Structure formats: C-alpha cells, structure tokens
Chains A and B, each alone.
Chain A
Amino acid sequence: MQDNVILSFEDLDIRFTLRGQVLNAIRGISLDVYRGESLAIVGESGSGKSVLTKSAMGLLDANGSIAGGHIWYDDKDLAAFKTEKEWLTIRGREIAMVMQDPMTSLNPLKTVGAQILEAVQLHQGLRGPEAKAAAVQALADVGIPDPQARYKQYPHEFSGGMRQRVVIAIAMACRPKILICDEPTTALDVTIQAQILDLIRTLQKKLDLTTIYITHDLGVVANVADRIAVMYAGDIVEVGSCDEVFYDPRHPYTWALLSSLPQLGVKGEDLYSIQGTPPNLFYEVKGDAFAPRNPKALKIDFVKRPPYFDVSPTHKARTWLLDPRAPKVEPPEHVYKLRERGGVGYV
C-alpha cells in the first residue's frame, strides 16, 4: 500500500444470498482512498455504493458476505475480520458514518446530550464532568447555538438541519480518521444542505479528515469532491478528479448521467433519459454492464468486460471506447455544453 493511501479496496467481491439465489452486489472493485481527500461515490440506487462503504465498517446485512478480495486499512485486512470485537477497533474509532436521515439515526427516547456522551465515553475514555464538557464542546463545534441548553433537549426539539449537525457531532466525537457521509443532505432543504456541506468541509480541514461521500446528487458532488468514482451495477466504471469527470467524462454511463440533469436542460425540449433498467445482478453480467442501455454500444461491449484504460495519471474508465482500435464515438452534446459553460480554463 502506498504511503498516502489510507483505505484501499482490492478486487473486492460482495455477495448477498436472497431466497436461495446469489446476488453479486459488488463485482471486483479496486479503489484507493487517499489521506485527507474527499472522494465522492456516485451512482443510482442499487448500484452498490452503500454496500461498498458498509463493507469497510463491518455493517453488511447478515445475508451478505465478502466473497473475495481485500480491504486494506493500516496494514490490516478488514475483509478477513470475523468477530464483532475486531470490528469495534475500527468502527466509529477509525471510520465513522453519517447516515442519510437524521430522523431515524437518532434515538428519540434519549436526550441529544446523552447520545453524544455515549460516544465520548466510549471513544475518548472520559468520565463524569469532563465527559459532559467534551460533549457540550462537540455540540458547539458543529455550530449549534446555545449548546448548554440544547444538550438537555430531545431530537424532536431540533430542526432537520440541526439534527444532522447532532449526527455529525456524534460521529466526530469518536475522533475518526475517515468520515463516510451516506447521502448526508438528501433529506434537507437546499439552503440547509449548503450549510451542512460547509460544516463537513470545515471539520475536514480542521481535523485532517478523509471524507467519502455517497450520493446521487451531482450538484452536491461538484461542490464537495476532490475525486469522483462513478458506480454502475456493482462496478466502478470511471474514476477521476472532479474536473476530469465533469468536463472530460469518458464512460457512456457518465455521459448519460450528466446529460439527464434538469439543471442543464433546455426549456421546452425533452431531457435526455436513459432507456431500460440496470441489469439484474442475480445473473452473471456479460461484457460491459451498461451496454444494453447504451444506444452506441460496440459489439465487443456485449461480449467481453472492458479493462480500465488510463486517460491521465488520475483518470481511468472501464470502456472499450478508449481502446486504440475502437471507432471514434463523440460524447453527447450536453457534455460539451458543460465543458464550455463552466470549464473555462480547463483543457
């Protein structure tokens, strides 16, 4: 493992058993997460983006298991972890998570203070008044006004945005190295969303955190990400820096995703929409998983799974279009538009 890599997925396979059938949720993913960066994992629901990050915290459902590959963290292979005791050395302490919905991730029967206190006592080893002071400080750190009084209140007395701040405070009270944010702002209003993203960014700078965002909102991604991994049907089809993926996307799925955004649409014209449905992962996927929905798919796309082709040292995509022998296929018009509009000065 390179020195600047903090978490590394290597050839990871994850399977779920459902009613006797086997579902291949993650199909051979390799991905490095660099120290201090913020990485965004983008994909539709069911693409496996949550499963991938949950596997690094030992939070897979009981019917799911790692069927192959490794997850490296600090020279430890998390994929080989068996017992809950082993996971407790990682979960919360090293890698913490902020879930999507602050309504369901807080305990409605306990005061907010008690819930933060629990994390402080468990992970910072503080007791008594010291622990309480740390918990109040944690509330103050995430920008909750009047933390002394708020400490004694219950979650229902908080607004959605404030609740999400509490969830972040609990996650941060464990002093993790990596913070995974699973759709952190989907349940929030746009104005609040911007504030929460700002908060996470400030914390990241202050505490030298590595953050992994899981989201399908490309607006959020453009705001927060240093690097982007695009997931489709349990595989990463394209990885690159934020600018590379937005202004110079190479995989047809990334093209389709960008083209279908209402923000880039022209009024009175139809938006581009992706035809068909994602493949059924109960069956083995042949070739490029996106090929059946790609009107410009090549013949080989249906036969052989493409390898990664490097576009730049930081940018690679899994598509035969990048093979030197492939015919030249132009990205759709919308992708050019985005490049012209925002990517001034970007080559």
Chain B
Amino acid sequence: MSETREKLLEVQNLSVTFGSRRHPFKAVDGVSFDVYKGETFGLVGESGSGKTTIGRAIIRVNPVSGGVIKYAGEIISGKVSRATDKRVIRNIQMVFQDPMASLNERAKVDYIVSEGLYSIHRHMPEAERKERVAQALRDVGLLPEFASRFPHEFSGGQRQRIGIARALIMEPQFIVADEPISALDVSIRAQVLNLMSRLQKERGLAYLFIAHDLSVVRFISDRIGVIYRGQLMELAGSEQLFAHPLHPYTKALLSAIPMPDPVRERNKKLIVYDPDQHGYTPADPPRWEELEPGHFVRGSQRELDAYRKILL
C-alpha cells in the first residue's frame, strides 16, 4: 500500500556528527525514514536522542556528515545549488517549541510573519505583502489587526499561532514542528493541535512532528518513529506501534506515558530500558529490518526472530 503514496521527504542513512575531529560525537547515526505527502510523521525520543538534530538537518541548519536527505526526489543535503536552497527554504518550514523564545521581541507581528517573504520575494509590492500577512493571520485564527502589535501582547497559544502563521505564509508543503505544544497549557494544546490538523486537511501539508510525549504523538501522527541515542529503534503506523510494540525501548516509553486516569495509573507497571540488555555480539550485530509491511525494528537476528514470532 505504501508504494502507491508519493514520497515527499526521504531520509537515507542520515548521520550528523558534532564536536572536533578528535572527539567526534555522533548525534544521529544511520537514520532512515520517509515522509509521505499529506501525512504526519511523529518522531519520539528523550532529550539528547537526536530528534531535534534530524529536524534541523532537514531544514539545512545542521550539516550532514553522512547519508542523504531527498525532498521530492532531489537531494537537499550537503552542497546544493542556490535555486535548490531557495526551494528548500520556501517548501520546508519550521515551527519551534517555545513561542516565548522564538519570536523577535522587538519586531511587530507584521514583520515577524513576513520576514520570509522579504528574503524570497524581494520585489513583492507592499499591498500584496500586507494582504498575504492578513491572510496568514486569518488562517491561524487571529485577527489581521494583530499585525501591528508586539509579541509580548499575546498569550502563549496566540504566540504559537503567530509562529505557525510565519511558516504558512511561505506556502510550504512540509512543516517540521519541533515540540510545538510542550510549552503550552493543557487547554491551549488542544487549540494548536486542532489548528494543525485543520491546516493539514485543507492544504495537504505534511508534518514531521517531533515530541517526547508519546500520547500526544499518537493522537496526531499517522506513523511514528522511536529514536534512542541517535538511532531509530522502531518505526510503525501509530496504532500498530501501540498495539504491538516490539523493541524494549518502545515498551519502556509506552509504559511511562502518564495517563489522566487514576485507576490505570495505580496499576501501572514501569518498564526500565537498559541499552546493555541486548547483548549484541560482533557475530550477530543489530540490523534495521521490516518485519511486517511498514513496521521496522532494530535488532539482532536472534531478536528479530523472536519479534517475528510475536507478530504471528
């Protein structure tokens, strides 16, 4: 089934290394996944797992040290032509975690939202630019009059909407949303999630939704990748992942989800993941394999055989 859908973004064997040459640190190590047109792909992991680094590598902020990233069939990682660079900037936009920190405190909303337009469409007439800003604000449920205000005049949820409007004005096809709701209040989270799914339905947007909270990711994502210390551990459709988690780390993450349900919480059993529990040997190294259509797991041959039995 997955063959018929159009791949929008392909990440193949991606590695990102930080630090000096003598002390390299592999933040992302051989990660591969695809994002299809119009879907939401959730990337889940704890802090330091490299999930944000992947997002930043896609928008060409962090340089790639190995592997390639393709967008609509074209390589966008490493050295690319100016035209490609511009296309990436226009088509892939980012929404950041903390709306308090990601908006320029000294600029008006009008400038914040249209900053991307200034750099891409340099000669856009002023009237058209104003209209585009007003439209972008309306799209995220804000009033066009807000354009003349400063960020500090808005609540957290409204600020996050401004962040989304800033991404939308470029008319992207793909948005990297890095923990877009973690810094928001519970009641406002619902507003922002609703807005994101409405925009997806209307415009066929694809999202890379980066988060550490599996329960929220389950609600919004079509497929989920679980990442641990720079490597993908498991990738599956979200219901598939919740119904048949295979990798022990996925199980640990699932067991830790805080549920707003006292009876469940009382009967909760925490699973603790120990990366040494696998006992990988050079003779039987871990591999990344598709066990059922669309369900990938990392494991040694012995483990993969055991996982297959569970799925049967």
Contact = CB atoms under 8 A, between A and B. Distances in A.
Given A194-B256, A198-B270, A277-B155, A189 B47 contact: yes
Contacts of A343: 263
B252 A45 contact: no
Interface stretch (A169-177, A261-269, A308-316): A261-269
A160 B47 contact: yes
A246 B273 CA distance: 30
Contacts of A272: 190
B265 interface: yes
Which of B220, B257, B261, B263 has its CB near the most chain A CB atoms (within 10 A)?
B261
Interface of B is mostly: helix
Nearest to A223: B265
B190 A263 contact: no
A38 to B, nearest CB: 12
B258 interface: yes
A346 B188 CA distance: 30
B213 A190 contact: yes
Contact of A222 (B156, B190, B238, B264): B264
Given A190-B253, A267-B219, A270-B197, A222 B186 contact: no
Count class of interface residues, chain A: 35 or more
Interface string A323-347: 0000000000000001001111010
Interface in B244-274: 252-253, 256-265, 268, 270, 272-273
Interface stretch (A8-16, A66-74, A252-260, A281-289): A252-260
Contacts of A191: 46, 252-253, 256, 272-273
Contacts of B218: 267
Contact of A190 (B187, B190, B214): B214
B186 A218 contact: yes
Contacts of A271: 190, 193-194, 219
Contacts of A246: 260-262
A239 B230 CA distance: 44
Contacts of A221: 260
Interface string A239-255: 00011001100000000
Interface in B4-51: 46-47
B262 A256 contact: no
A344 B187 CA distance: 27
A41 B173 CA distance: 42
A216 interface: yes
B182 to A, nearest CB: 9
Which of A190, A218, A246 has its CB near the most chain B CB atoms (within 10 A)?
A190
B260 A190 contact: no
B216 interface: yes
A262 B215 contact: yes
B130 interface: no
Contacts, number: 119
Nearest to B45: A189
A118 interface: no
A196 to B, nearest CB: 11
B264 A342 contact: yes
B295 interface: no
B212 interface: yes
A243 B263 CA distance: 8
A220 interface: yes
A258 B262 CA distance: 13
A341 B261 contact: yes
Nearest to B49: A189
B237 to A, nearest CB: 11
A86 interface: no
A192 to B, nearest CB: 7
A217 interface: yes
Contacts of B47: 160, 189
B259 A219 contact: yes
Contacts of B190: 260-262, 271-274
Interface in A200-251: 216-223, 225, 242-243, 246-247
B19 to A, nearest CB: 17
B275 to A, nearest CB: 12
A343 B185 CA distance: 26
Contacts of B261: 222, 246, 338, 341-342
Interface of A: 44-45, 160, 189-195, 198, 216-223, 225, 242-243, 246-247, 256-258, 260-265, 267, 270-274, 277, 338, 341-344, 346
Given A270-B198, A342-B263, 6 more contacts: A45-B156, A190-B257, A258-B260, A260-B189, A338-B260, A346-B263
21 contacts: A190-B256, A191-B256, A194-B258, A219-B215, A219-B259, A219-B260, A220-B258, A222-B260, A222-B261, A223-B265, A242-B262, A246-B262, A247-B262, A257-B187, A270-B197, A271-B190, A271-B194, A273-B194, A277-B155, A342-B262, A346-B263
| Minimum-distance CB pairs A-B, first 3 | A219-B258, A342-B261, A260-B190
